[in-house]
Amino acid sequence: MYFHHIYDKTLAQASYLIGCQAKGEAIVIDAKRDIDTYLQIANENNLKITHIAETHIHADFLAGSRELAAVTGAKMYLSDEGGADWQYQFPHIGLKNGDVITVGNLTLKVIHTPGHTPESISFLLTDHPATDAPVMIFTGDFVFVGDIGRPDLLEKAAGIVGTQEKGAREMFHSVKNFSKLQDYIQVWPGHGAGSACGKSLGAVPNSTVGYEKIRNWAFQYEDDEEGFVEYLLDGQPEPPKYFAMMKQLNKVERPLLPDVPKHQKLSKDEFLKAYNSGVKVIDTRNKVDFAKGFIPNSINIQGNNSFSTWMGWLVDYSEPFILVAEDDQMEDLTRKLMRIGMDQMMGYIDAVENLGLDLETADVIDIEEFKTYLDREDIQIVDVRNQSEYKAAHIENAKNVFVGTIEDNLDKISREGQVVIHCQSGDRAAIAYSLLKKNGFENVKNYSGGMKEWLEKGNFVTQ
């Protein structure tokens, strides 16, 4: 058996290519959209991708199953569980609990594991030339290392009222069934630490059934369904806005993008024409460089591992946009955008100087200046971290306005008085600063050191 774990650290998302070397056949589970990765792996190992599967209708990334099927001719094997409202609306081979997929000398048994979503399935793999006992289970967003999938996304992200408690109770029973599997079976989940699909995912890529039964909180409740449901639903992070779009696009017919596109580098005149017509500008430079000089009304979303997540939070799929980025960044940034289906880029520029625009600078302050603004009635301190971080510990009298929803809550921030914002270590505050300036807030300062520096220097916090 050939096994390859493919991990996208930008979305903390795992996919898998598993092959039977004797027959030269392979299956890909939960493919990302830039599919050249799988084509290269298969080619280098003399394998043909003949099967493509998904564990569920994903909310956090745009699955590349259809692109991969279009290029390879492989069959798609997708869940037909969950009822009429949870069916994929394009041609596929439907899977039900107990079905078996055969890939050469390998078999993958389908286990219906509802909870995260009604149609969620897991794949129990047996490598028959080695043993007739199962060796691995691919759990998608069901069981993670140290955590389980959240059941509230359908309600919070997709707006389907009444689904989170039902999902939590289904998850309780799915976990009980999972615990009956042999302890030695390897667990390969769909996400790792950093994903918004759970609240306490482990950083290691895989585990075993036995280990999860000992260390995963979800297996400690035994017959306490009410306690399980309460704990599972409490303290889940805010789901990014783009999750609702992913749920839709992963379910219905959509345009395919089998290759990584190359975007146009705009001339000065091309850029200014678009900019003056109101096209959104996303500046991907480091927050320090952005602060030294930025295009008025541009948004600073750094091109790091969180780039696609914040783009999904802050850019609507109907909006065209232009990036500020270096030439050698563009392939990486394009892949990150592809993975969430954000295909409406008009092009990019590689510098903000020489455009004939008066650049602005950010008002970034240090901790000593920040302290002078505390306990003053004429100053508003705004913590732009998420709600669970704020509840865990925050600076006294700071108001919590999460950066991901800040444009929906501008009425909570003073336009007349002085505003001082901060986050954990500066990245989200840089985004928030640019958003506030874009929306006409003039009296804004950014304490970039944030809670990280505040705590490191032994300052008091409120819990």
Contact predicate 88/81, CB 8 Å:
no
C-alpha of 420 from chain center: 28
Q: Tell me whether residue 359 is in a domain.
A: no
One-character DSSP codes across 132-196: SS--EEEEETSB-SS-B--S-HHHHTT--TTHHHHHHHHHHHHHHHHTTS-TT-EEEESB-TT-T
Q: What is the pLDDT of residue 199?
A: 72
* 90 and 220 co-located in one domain: yes
Q: Tell me whether residue 25 is in a domain.
A: yes
Q: How far apart, in whole angstroms, are the C-alpha atoms of residue 217 and residue 203?
A: 16
Contact predicate 25/73, CB 8 Å:
no
Q: What is the pLDDT of residue 155?
A: 78
The neighbouring-strand residues paired with 422 are: 383
Q: Tell me whether residue 405 is in a domain.
A: yes
Q: How far apart, in whole angstroms, are the C-alpha atoms of residue 168 and residue 163?
A: 9
Q: What is the pLDDT of residue 159?
A: 73
* 293 and 155 co-located in one domain: no
Q: What is the pLDDT of residue 202?
A: 80
Q: How far apart, in whole angstroms, are the C-alpha atoms of residue 343 and residue 337?
A: 7
With left for phi above 0 and alpha for psi between -120 and 50, is residue 307 left, alpha or beta? alpha
* 429 and 379 co-located in one domain: yes
- Full pLDDT tens readout for the chain, 463 residues: 999 999 999 999 999 999 999 999 999 999 999 999 999 999 999 999 999 999 999 999 999 999 999 999 999 999 999 999 899 999 999 999 999 999 999 999 999 999 999 999 999 999 999 999 999 999 999 999 999 999 988 777 777 777 899 999 999 999 999 999 999 999 999 999 877 777 777 889 999 999 999 999 999 998 899 999 999 998 888 889 999 999 999 999 999 999 999 999 999 999 999 999 999 999 999 999 999 999 999 999 999 999 999 999 999 999 999 999 999 999 999 999 999 999 999 999 999 999 999 999 999 999 999 999 999 999 999 999 999 899 999 999 999 999 999 999 999 999 999 999 999 999 999 999 999 999 999 999 999 999 999 999 999 899 8
The SS3 of residue 384 is coil
Domain range spanning residue 430?
Answer: 364-456
* 319 and 209 co-located in one domain: no
* 235 and 298 co-located in one domain: no
The neighbouring-strand residues paired with 77 are: 53, 93
Residue for token pair 């914002």: 421
* 285 and 412 co-located in one domain: no
Q: What is the pLDDT of residue 151?
A: 92
Four-residue CA torsion sign, 65, 66, 70, 75: positive
**CATH number, domain at 326?**
3.40.250.10
* 215 and 313 co-located in one domain: no
Whole-Å CA distances, 397 to 98, 135, 286, 460: 55, 53, 30, 12
Q: Tell me whether residue 355 is in a domain.
A: no
Strand order from edge to edge, sheet including 418-422: 364-365, 444-447, 418-422, 379-383, 399-400
Looking at residue 267, what DSSP letter applies?
P
Residue for token pair 């960044």: 329
Contact predicate 43/24, CB 8 Å:
no
Token pair in block for residue 257: 């993008």
* Rg, C-alpha atoms of the chain: 24
* 7 and 60 co-located in one domain: yes
Contact predicate 35/66, CB 8 Å:
no
Beta strand residue intervals within 250-297, DSSP E: 280-283
* 42 and 99 co-located in one domain: yes
Q: In the listed set 249, 281, 310, which residue is the last one of a domain according to the structure?
A: 249
Token pair in block for residue 445: 């300062």
Q: Tell me whether residue 357 is in a domain.
A: no
Q: What does the CA dihedral 310, 315, 318, 323 come to, rounded to 10 degrees?
A: -90
Count up the domains in the chain and report the number: 3
Q: In the listed set 303, 322, 349, which residue is the last one of a domain according to the structure?
A: 349
Q: Tell me whether residue 103 is in a domain.
A: yes
Q: How far apart, in whole angstroms, are the C-alpha atoms of residue 384 and residue 441?
A: 15
Q: What is the pLDDT of residue 156?
A: 78
Largest CA distance in the chain: 74
Token pair in block for residue 255: 């345009």
Q: What is the pLDDT of residue 152?
A: 87
The SS3 of residue 90 is coil
* 139 and 26 co-located in one domain: yes
Contact predicate 152/233, CB 8 Å:
yes
**Residue among 23, 83, 66 nearest 48 (CA):** 23
Q: How far apart, in whole angstroms, are the C-alpha atoms of residue 235 and residue 199?
A: 7
Q: Tell me whether residue 259 is in a domain.
A: no
C-alpha of 353 from chain center: 33
* 38 and 171 co-located in one domain: yes
* 242 and 386 co-located in one domain: no
pLDDT in tens, 373-423: 999 999 999 999 999 899 999 999 999 999 999 999 999 999 999 999 999
**CATH number, domain at 213?**
3.60.15.10
Looking at residue 221, what DSSP letter applies?
-
pLDDT in tens, 151-193: 988 777 777 777 899 999 999 999 999 999 999 999 999 999 8
Looking at residue 108, what DSSP letter applies?
E
Q: In the listed set 311, 326, 349, which residue is the last one of a domain according to the structure?
A: 349
Query: N- to C-terminal Cα distance for the chain?
Result: 51
Q: How far apart, in whole angstroms, are the C-alpha atoms of residue 299 and residue 311?
A: 10
Q: Tell me whether residue 258 is in a domain.
A: no
